[in-house]
Chain A
């Protein structure tokens, strides 16, 4: 990794071998394999939801089967409005995946850009960005997210923005520290000596070399983002009914007291959240083992 040559052909070859090594390493990691399998399975389930849904998520309210326990008609039971829980959690999964992917994407792009700028140019920009990072990190994440959603108004978009904002600082820190160590390395100094402009150095040389830890962090952040967005939903700040959102389902069940009398209304939505987070965490662990050989234990 650290012997990346500025010449394209050698670089290409090095990348091919690196990819093969990463792939082989990844296959060795059990958690990585389980995580990949789970993520792909959940992703497919979400994508194919309209094809496999047993009922219509938003509209199929069958009051005769209100709070029906799990059985043949409703595999995982029905909620307080007589909606099929299996259908609801499959749709909830879709929303959950979209929210976490978009918000982490947002945090990754903004955080990485700020981190690149801070680490490469240093000076007052670095001080300013560092100050912003410190302030964002001073707030407990969930509290900051609640405040942001309150300002923006309860909706799915607000949740995406709020969860995205609280992912930013970690990507700033990570990228900045990567840039600081990379910019002094010989291959970067060589490129600079050849007269490359900062933009070129940053995007063609520093960013590719910092990708591995960023990918690992992004995967792990997908897990926290899922938990945080579901938490906001639980507080009633996320998607508004009748949109089936996993956290909102838990909150409905808790507030109506069904969590005590009809436990299936909480067990399955929570299980789905746990599965999603588990998938991302396992995948992140596996990627870390294969992408970052220094951390191998």
Chain B
């Protein structure tokens, strides 16, 4: 097992190298001179040159790439050209926001999706099943940002139940301190319940918008896994023993149907952390996706380099973790 993990980690190296190479090449291919973009059209050639010198943009490309790699190894992502804030600090802050949103979205998907899938499987081809499956099909077919806009219109603008954007209300924000960057956790640690309610209220709409696609996927997968398990011999045995149907479904069937569901949940988590760009923009959520997007528009090389590298590495690592845990939990899987 340890050997398997080691091999998988080793196999990761060329991929990571490829990621850095692709990021580097793509960034250099973006049309437009970052010096001109940032110093303005009126900057004198001398000013532009000094800026390029300072940012290392005058070095030959292979040298720039090598120094880029060296900095990555030291976890030195540099500073944002636009704001001057160190990339690492910004990633830390943004990361917490993205993590909180992805967790909330996934919780929503699990809490609604697994029961929906179980009920649909037990009532196969009945109206509940049809409703759940139609719903999940529509769920995966909707643009996330569209759903977000509709939710904002309905629940924030029309009904006024929930805040339309941001992580924290202004009135609460003044006496709220963050330690972890995870506002829910911070509010609980400080026993600040007004803030907790406010933070949770801000989470609801973006979490629903972001969680809808995973919800649909989880529900469909739970249903098909349950259907497969429910047709097994040991379920028939359990029923023949005269066990309560509820007990058979929850204890015997669901437990065994959950493995593929857990895998897909893990993979979805990686995807949610990194691809919530559109949701973050709609809800003005200060996460990592909207930050990288802004970096691309402003040609803020260090932001894009650091952000995209960080996002894709997390994505790869989470997927690897899911693979390994899959091998750990399912003794039928051979690893060599």
Chains A and B bind each other: yes
**The residue from B141, B224, B275, B281 contacting A143, defined by CB atoms under 8 A apart:** B275
Please give the number of chain B residues whose Cβ is less than 8 angstroms from any Cβ of chain A in the complex. Answer: 42
The reply to whether the CB of B110 lies closer than 8 angstroms to some CB of chain A is: no
Contacts of B137 in A (CB 8 A): 31, 278, 281-282, 285
A119-138 to B contact mask, C-beta < 8 Å, 1/0: 00000000000011011001
Say what secondary structure dominates the interface of chain A.
Answer: helix
With a cutoff of 8 Å between Cβ atoms, the chain A residues found around residue B282 in the complex are 254
Q: List residues of B (265-320) whose CB comes within 8 Å of A's CBs.
A: 271, 274-275, 277-278, 281-282, 289, 292-293, 296, 304, 308, 311-312, 315-316
**Surface stretch bound by A, among B42-50, B70-78, B148-156:** B148-156
The answer on a CB contact under 8 Å between A135 and B30 is: no
Quick check: B30 and A150 within 8 Å, CB to CB? yes
Q: 0/1 per residue, A234-253, Cβ < 8 Å to B? A: 11000000000001001001
The answer for the CA separation of A140 and B146 in the assembled complex, in Å, is 20
Interface stretch of the complex, out of B15-23, B197-205, B235-243: B15-23
- Residue B142 is within 8 A (CB to CB) of chain A in the complex: yes
Which one, A134, A141, A234, A263, contacts B153 given CB within 8 A?
Answer: A263
List A residues at the B interface (Cβ < 8 Å): 31, 131-132, 134-135, 138-143, 146-148, 150-151, 153, 223, 227, 230-231, 234-235, 247, 250, 253-254, 259-260, 263, 266-267, 269-270, 273-274, 277-278, 281-282, 285, 297
B interface residues with partner A (beta carbon < 8 Å):
14-15, 18-19, 22, 26, 29-31, 137-138, 140-143, 145-146, 149-150, 152-153, 157, 224, 227-228, 271, 274-275, 277-278, 281-282, 289, 292-293, 296, 304, 308, 311-312, 315-316
Apart from A142-B277, A277-B142, list 12 A-B contacts with CB within 8 A.
A132-B18, A146-B296, A147-B308, A231-B278, A234-B143, A250-B145, A259-B152, A259-B153, A274-B142, A277-B140, A297-B224, A297-B228
17 CB < 8 A contacts A-B:
A135-B15, A135-B22, A139-B315, A140-B274, A143-B275, A147-B304, A147-B308, A234-B143, A235-B281, A266-B146, A270-B146, A273-B142, A273-B143, A274-B141, A274-B146, A277-B140, A285-B137
